Structure 1
């Protein structure tokens, strides 16, 4: 599978993940598959471009909370995307938190399933004599 096709498949499956979330978290609604595609694209861009900057800015509090503040950042970004995409509604921060957490797990599973087969992890074993 070509890298471009893999990227399109990952984008489509992330949109499907967004469509699954309202079935589990009651305060989230996705109106259509087109809205899910737009939200998945925007979430991907924001997670790639803005999230690393926010994590760097909030590094002291993230270290104090042993990384748990990253969940708050994810929830705020998820909630923010709902404000930018018309077909995605998130009622409050609590639903954004659970929606972002569930979306993270689902996209992790998507990345695991659609992962690059040519990217192999080398395990180096240190043999002592």
Structure 2
């Protein structure tokens, strides 16, 4: 599955997830969702590996559950970087990352791609 198609699917997943978590997570428009998907892709490619490496001992002790915290931090960082995307706090960012991962996986499966 091509990069642009993955960004498009992630943008749709972000819009749907924001709709599900409506009072606490806000995405202004589809263009904002596209920018959010692109920023998340960049943060996941550049920042997340560094955070995983720095927190490796904690991740081992928590049997990988600390990766959810890292995902929430990435969402909060994206909320700071993308105008028009708002998350009300850490727990909403954590829930957003979990729901968006599930929705994204389902949409990629429907699109015929592999994760």
TM-score relative to the length of structure 2: 0.89
Question: Which consecutive residues of structure 2, in runs of 5 or more, have no partner in the other structure?
Answer: none
- How far apart, CA to CA, are the structure 1 residues paired with 2:10 and 2:77? 17
- How far apart, CA to CA, are the structure 1 residues paired with 2:56 and 2:3? 30
More helix by share: 2
- How far apart, CA to CA, are the structure 1 residues paired with 2:50 and 2:105? 21
Q: Does 1:70 align with 2:67?
A: yes
2:58 alignment partner, one of 46, 58, 61: 61
* 2:113 paired residue number: 115
User: Who wins on radius of gyration, i.e. which is larger?
Assistant: 1
Q: Which runs of 4+ in 1 moved over 6 A?
A: none
* 1:83 paired residue number: 80
- How far apart, CA to CA, are the structure 2 residues paired with 1:106 and 1:44? 16
Instruction: Please state how far the C-alpha of 1:114 moved relative to its aligned partner.
Output: 4.0
1:15-36 Cα shifts (integer Å, max 9, x gaps): 0111011222231000001100
Question: Which consecutive residues of structure 1, in runs of 5 or more, have no partner in the other structure?
Answer: 117-129
Aligned 1:1-129 pairs, distance under 5 A = 6-25=2-21, 26-112=23-109, 113-115=111-113
Residue range with higher mean Cα deviation, 14-23 or 29-38: 14-23
TM-score relative to the length of structure 1: 0.80
- How far apart, CA to CA, are the structure 2 residues paired with 1:54 and 1:75? 12
Q: Aligned pairs, how many? A: 112
- How far apart, CA to CA, are the structure 2 residues paired with 1:23 and 1:38? 17
- How far apart, CA to CA, are the structure 1 residues paired with 2:44 and 2:97? 12
